[in-house]
Structure 1
Amino acid sequence: MSKNKKPAPKNGKPQGAKRNTGGAARPQNGRPQNARPQQNPNTAASQWTSGSKRKKSNLSAIALGFVGLVVVLLVLIYLLTKFGENQTPAASAEPVVLTNYVATNQPTLGKADAKVKIVEFGDYKCPDCKIWTETVLPELKTKYVDTNEASFQFADYPFLADDSMLLALGGQALYEQNPDYFWAYNKAVYANQDTNKVRDNWVTEKYIVDLVKQTVPDADIEKFAADLKNKTYQAAVTADVKAGDDSKITGTPSIFVNGTKVENPTLENVEAAIEAAKAG
């Protein structure tokens, strides 16, 4: 027997073992009291699922609201369209009619007794008149005037600046000398127009006389200069201006076909008015 061998414990308990004094409660069902219960994985999963369901529910509500808004807008558009269709169109504005215009003694291209009569009221300083004269008039002349279907007359309506009247008096003075001189002058004035000085009073008698010397060499320059200086044909120009005012002209070029103003006188619109006048 070894001297170091411990004696066998009594009652199956080792000697020196501490007894349970009751300081800690005995665990029940194999689990210590106050221990944190384990979370049910199914419960945790349900929390995530319910959160996802709430998000989906919110998105669905937003989507339904958006769809509803679109539907409302479509209904409003439909109702407004129907409302517009059911409205009685407003009566169109009365056409502007040429009033107190004297066609005799006016610069004329083509046969004066043509069935269709075109009249332009223009200002030599007007940029739009320049464009119209250089682009639209040649087309009308070739198609209608040269074929004797229409005539064309120019009437003065100087209003942009004081020197507009001086240019108008120059044209009238040349017309009184020879009607052919007028059209050469008309073309030259527009060709030399300064669109940067529309409202400036820059045209002088000397400028006009020099222009006539260059472009109408057969004209009697001395007589022309005297008529321009003395405003010999002021009455004729004033009559054109009065006719324009009486016809409610608000700008230039103002184009009339058989006495009715053509609004927005593009080539297409003037041609349409001419064709209507021919058929009437």
Structure 2
Amino acid sequence: MSKNKKPAPKKGKPQNAAKNTGGAPRPKPQNQNASASQWTSGSKRKKSNLGVIALGFVGLVVVLMVLIYVLTKAGETQPTDSAQTTESVVLTNYDASNQPTLGNPDSNVKIVEFGDYKCPDCKIWSETVLPELQTKYLDTNEASFQFADYPFLAADSTLLALGGQSLYEQNPDYFWPYYKAVYANQDTTKVKENWITEDYIVDLVKESVPDADIEKFTKDLKNKTYQADVDADVKAGNDSKITGTPTIFVNGEKVDNPTLANVEAAVEAAKAK
């Protein structure tokens, strides 16, 4: 069998040419310029990213500084504003000795309503909140309730207030049927109109308080016998910085937004003291 012989080198080829040893192919020399270009490009990207991060950090610092400035300024003015909005309104120059009263007048919790008989909100309050308070606190003698006149919606508001005061002076028990009857017959479409007359009130008293001395009541109403008592209530309301009706006080402090829940909370707080 013939053997394959390595062919003799061709002429012109150097004898000492490097041989391929059968290993991994020799790597081709890299383009130095290309390699440098890659590194340079990478450095630019890194520098660009660092620039973006730096700008973002600076922006964040600026935002934080602005927020700190705003909050600092707000903090400087807040105590004054807060003091104005949260300042408690206190019942001032109010004489509780001669007022229509429900419940125990000697109780430690005293509720006072300033109301106008022509006020629609007073009507709602008297027909929804007061009955609940009466059941829970007045009938159980845990609190007392007084009504004070604050007629301001129209001229005839004062006439209605005089009617209530005249009946109270005649007999304290006559006041509350009148209080309920006036609200029950309120005309919410004529709040600002001056339409209530003496005859209207006399007829209302004849119907709602049949035991009253109508002759005396009519005379007192016509002569405005108890105008000074109504005026005293109005002055107390003004001194107490009342801005509308109904305004409710519990132990001399005004109840903001006098819903049943808010008045009950004020009563419970007063009981706990």
Q: CA deviation at 1:82?
A: 12
1:21-72 CA distance string (max 9 Å, x none): xxxxxxxxxxxxxxxxxxxxxxxxxxxxxxxxxxxxxxxxxxxxxxxxxxx9
**Match of 1:117?**
110
Amino acid at match of 2:99: Q
Q: Secondary structure at the match of 2:257?
A: coil
Find 2:267's aligned residue among 244, 249, 274: 274
Give 1:253's aligned residue: 246
2:256 is the counterpart of 1:263: yes
> Which amino acid is 1:107 matched to?
P
2:135 is aligned with what amino acid?
T
User: Structure 1: which amino acid aligns with 2:227?
Assistant: Q
- Mapped to 2, the partners of 1:279 and 1:132 lie a distance apart of 25
TM-score (norm 1): 0.70
Unaligned runs of 5+ in 1: 1-71
Partner of 1:233 in structure 2? Answer: 226
1:166 aligns with 2:163: no
Looking at secondary structure, tell me which structure has more helix per residue. Answer: 2
Aligned mates of 2:70, 2:271 — CA distance in 1:
39
Pick closer, same or farther for the CA change 1:83–1:169 going to 2, 3 Å.
same
Q: Deviations over 1:85-128 (max 9, x none)?
A: 99575434210000000000100001111010000000000000
Pair 1:137 & 2:116 matched: no
1:46-195 aligned within 5 A: 87=75, 90=79, 91-92=82-83, 93-195=86-188
**CA gap 1:210/1:76 in 2 versus in 1, 3 angstroms:** farther
Q: Which residue of 2 aligns with 1:222?
A: 215
Q: Give, in whole Å, the separation in 1 of the partners of 2:155 and 2:182.
A: 16
Deviation at 1:220, TM superposition (A): 0.4
Cα shift at 1:218? 0.5
Residue of structure 2 in register with 1:35 after alignment:
none
Matched AA of 1:181: Y
Following TM superposition, the consecutive aligned residue runs of length 4 or more in structure 1 with deviations greater than 4 angstroms are 79-89
How many residues end up aligned between the 2 structures?
Answer: 208
- Note the residue ranges of structure 2 that are not aligned, 5 or more in a row: 1-58
Cα deviation for residue 224 of structure 1 reads 0.4
TM-score by length of 2: 0.71
SS of alignment partner, residue 104 of structure 1: helix
- Paired position in structure 2 for 1:41: none
